[in-house]
């Protein structure tokens, strides 16, 4: 395969406006030479330790035989179910890598008690887990690891034989894991989480699950030279200029799988693009769309469409759009370059995530304070309703409250649906995105929580403050304790939802909170109500 990018209309104009100066500034060769000065002095400290991904296809080679040897030894013991515990940059890449290749990897990136319980109760005797955390201090990942350690012990299995760690050298997780006797893979500390697909974070879980990681690295390596070239033909420069260089900027980037063989690319691209660019009141927000999603047929001037097609040379872009083709490994490197270019054009540091911490702090505060649960403003059947007073006050029906939220949508705004639910057990909840988009006539994102907090959550709080938020939580009939922690999974996810809502409201953005007091009946009720709008 090869990477191809085709642009048309305003995307072509954007490329024309920026390509020559990017080539003159030698952006591409300097990026691959890991020059930290490309995003200005304020970003230099961070970028000086974040550019290792440009050479990861080569640098990561020695990991391959180590991972394959571990996979073979696990399989020889009958251990063939791999669960990945991790969030954001530590889980999204291996998920799309394995889904695309048709390789089975169970990704546990949730604190929903029903989802966690299912993951730890299933086939424990043939399970090994990879616990991936760059910082080694992410609360979800730490809690998931504890839940599995407890489950292994309860089944009479030595956790040290089943727990594999990926973390940065010197992290608290490294120290604790060495003491516990776990297998530890140290990652390259010069690569940020969302750029880490070609490092141990992508390779260890995907390789243990059965992906041909040697071929994957070779595929990425095959496009590195082309992406490092100071040329107006460089597809990375072209894509970056096209997504970030329109005048005025198109804030929303519709990512549409339209003939590609890649499965779930949008979920990975969301974090890469939104968390890298969404800050200082600026940024780009990916909106994962189907070919027939309402947004595509609507006149939304600040929505740009990027289609992942089978071959962008055979199907060139039309009507202001961008078409992209190439294998997954190639496209991962392509989009990483494009986002680095976009960061420079937008004028932000693409390697930090300054607003993610605020939601974590708010959740911690709630867990420490354990306040009385807030009473709902009203309850309709299986849905209890809370939220910003200007949205919920005076209403008695769920649909009215949703209409009231949408009435607050600014002309240049978007709706973010945030589902703190069991995404394996209740995938149907995602259906509501299309209904809300149909009604809102503006871009609508759908994020499973808490994983979006480590992805688009940065944009929600750090990007333009034009979002309205539909938060869905579930009251599960099961809960799960977390060993040596003063809270359960159920309490943790509730605190995460309430904490993020507080921060969003604190930024002046409206939040409607729907609690499905019976998850299944509540989901049915919500879908039925929205289907008719």
Ligand X SMILES: O=P(O)(O)OC[C@H]1O[C@H](O)[C@H](O)[C@@H](O)[C@@H]1O
Taking CB under 6 A as the criterion, the residue among 193, 202, 245, 327 binding ligand X is 193
User: Would you call the peptide bond into 248 cis, given omega within 30 degrees of 0 as the criterion?
Assistant: yes
* DSSP secondary structure of 341-361: HHHHHHTS-TT--TTHHHHHH
Instruction: State the minimum distance, in angstroms, from the CB of residue 91 to ligand X.
Output: 8
SS3 424: coil
- How far apart CA 242 and CA 224 sit, in angstroms, is 20
Q: Does 278 bind ligand X (CB under 6 A)?
A: no
**Minimum distance of ligand X from residue 349's CB (angstroms):** 13
Contact between 202 and ligand X by CB under 6 A: the answer reads no
Crossing angle of helices 9-24 and 235-244, rounded to 10°: 120
| One residue of 56, 356, 437, 523 binding ligand X per CB under 6 A | 356
Contact between 134 and ligand X per CB under 6 A: yes
Residues 6+ apart with CB under 8 A from 156: none
Residue 181 three-state SS: coil
Q: Based on CB atoms, which residue is closest to ligand X, 87 or 377?
A: 87
Q: Does 275 engage in binding with ligand X (CB under 6 A)?
A: yes
Restricted to residues 482-511, the positions that interact with ligand X (CB under 6 A) are none
471 touching ligand X, by CB under 6 A: no
Q: Which two tokens stand for residue 120?
A: 């730890």
CA distances to 437, 486, 528 from 533, rounded to whole Å, are 10, 43, 10
Strands 183-186, 285-289: pairing kind? unpaired
**Closer of 134 and 395 to ligand X (Cβ):** 134
Pick one of 21, 37, 73, 135: the residue that binds ligand X (CB under 6 A): 135
DSSP letter string, 1-36? ---EEEE-HHHHHHHHHHHHHHHHTTHHHHHHTT-G
Nearer to ligand X, 56 or 385 (CB): 56
Distance CA 489, CA 497 (A): 12
Element (H, E) at 435: helix 432-440
CB hemisphere CA count around 213 (13 angstroms): 30
Q: Residue 312 CB, nearest distance to ligand X (Å)?
A: 29
Q: Which one of 88, 387, 467, 519 is in contact with ligand X (CB under 6 A)?
A: 88
Q: Kindly tell me which residue out of 112, 353, 388, 473 binds ligand X, with binding defined by CB under 6 A.
A: 353
- Write the DSSP symbol of residue 271: I
Contact residue for ligand X among 60, 100, 138, 199 (CB under 6 A): 138
Q: Interface mask (CB under 6 A) for ligand X, residues 441-470, using x and -?
A: -------------x----------------
Taking the least distance from each CB to ligand X, the nearer of 109 and 320 is 109
Residues 411-430 that bind ligand X (CB under 6 A): none
162/451 with CB nearer ligand X: 451
Nearer CB in complex with ligand X: 275/500: 275
Question: What is the spatial distance between Cα 451 and Cα 454, in angstroms, rounded to a whole number?
Answer: 6
Residue 286 touches ligand X, criterion: CB under 6 A: no
Q: Assess 194 for contact with ligand X (CB under 6 A).
A: yes
Binding residues for ligand X, how many (CB under 6 A)?
A: 15
Residue 370: which residues within 8 A CB-CB, separation 6 or more?
Answer: none
Residue 190 in the binding site for ligand X (CB under 6 A)? no
Q: According to CB under 6 A, which residues from 140 to 159 bind ligand X? A: 141
Pick the piece of the chain touching ligand X (CB under 6 A) from 56-64, 130-138, 157-165, 225-233.
130-138
For residue 316, give both structure tokens. Answer: 């060139």
Note the residues at the interface with ligand X (CB under 6 A).
Answer: 87-90, 133-135, 138, 141, 193-194, 275, 353, 356, 454
């Amino acid at each position: 395969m090869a990477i191809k990018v085709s642009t048309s209309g305003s995307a072509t104009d954007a490329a024309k406006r920026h390509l020559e100066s990017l080539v003159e500034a030698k952006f591409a060769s300097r990026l691959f030479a890991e020059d930290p000065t490309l995003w200005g002095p304020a970003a230099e400290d961070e970028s000086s330790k974040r550019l290792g991904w440009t050479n990861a296809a080569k640098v990561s080679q020695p990991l391959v035989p180590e991972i394959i040897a571990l996979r073979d030894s696990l399989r020889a013991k009958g251990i063939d179910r791999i669960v990945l515990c991790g969030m954001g940059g530590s889980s999204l890449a291996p998920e799309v890598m394995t889904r695309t290749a048709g390789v089975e990897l169970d990704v546990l990136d949730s604190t929903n008690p029903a989802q966690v319980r299912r993951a730890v109760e299933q086939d424990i005797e043939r399970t090994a887990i990879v616990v991936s955390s760059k910082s080694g201090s992410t609360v979800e990942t730490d809690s998931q690891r504890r839940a599995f350690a407890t489950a292994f012990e309860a089944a009479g299995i030595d956790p040290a034989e089943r727990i594999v760690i990926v973390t940065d050298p010197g992290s608290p997780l490294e120290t604790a894991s060495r003491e516990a006797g776990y297998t530890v893979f140290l990652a390259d500390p010069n690569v940020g989480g969302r750029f880490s697909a070609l490092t141990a974070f992508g390779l260890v879980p995907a390789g243990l699950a059965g992906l041909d990681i040697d071929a994957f690295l070779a595929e990425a390596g095959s496009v590195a030279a082309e992406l490092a070239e100071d040329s107006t033909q460089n597809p990375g420069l072209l894509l970056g200029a096209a997504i970030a260089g329109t005048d005025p900027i198109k804030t929303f980037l519709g990512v549409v799988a339209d003939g590609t063989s890649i499965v779930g690319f949008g979920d990975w691209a969301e974090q890469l693009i939104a968390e890298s660019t969404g800050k200082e009141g600026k940024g780009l927000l990916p909106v994962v769309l189907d070919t027939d999603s309402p947004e595509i047929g609507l006149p939304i001037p600040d929505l740009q469409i990027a289609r992942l097609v089978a071959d962008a040379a055979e199907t060139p872009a039309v009507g202001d759009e961008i078409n992209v083709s190439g294998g997954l490994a190639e496209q991962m490197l392509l989009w990483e370059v494009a986002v680095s270019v976009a960061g420079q054009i937008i004028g932000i540091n693409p390697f930090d995530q300054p607003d993610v911490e605020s939601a974590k702090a708010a959740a911690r505060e709630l867990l420490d304070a354990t306040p009385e649960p807030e009473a709902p403003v009203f309850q309709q059947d299986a849905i209890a309703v809370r939220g910003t007073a200007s949205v919920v006050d005076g209403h008695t029906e769920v649909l009215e409250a949703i209409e009231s939220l949408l009435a607050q949508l600014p002309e240049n705004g978007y709706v973010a649906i945030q589902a703190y639910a069991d995404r394996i057990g209740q995938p149907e909840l995602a259906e509501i995105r299309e209904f809300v988009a149909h009604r809102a006539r503006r871009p609508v994102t759908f994020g499973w929580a808490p994983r979006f907090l480590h992805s688009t959550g940065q944009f929600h709080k750090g990007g333009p403050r034009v979002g309205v938020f539909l938060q869905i939580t579930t009251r599960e009939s099961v809960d799960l304790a977390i060993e040596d922690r003063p809270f359960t999974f159920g309490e943790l996810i509730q605190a995460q939802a309430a904490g993020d809502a507080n921060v969003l409201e604190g930024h002046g953005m409206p939040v409607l909170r729907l609690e499905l007091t019976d998850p299944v009946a509540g989901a049915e009720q919500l879908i039925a109500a929205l289907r008719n709008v």
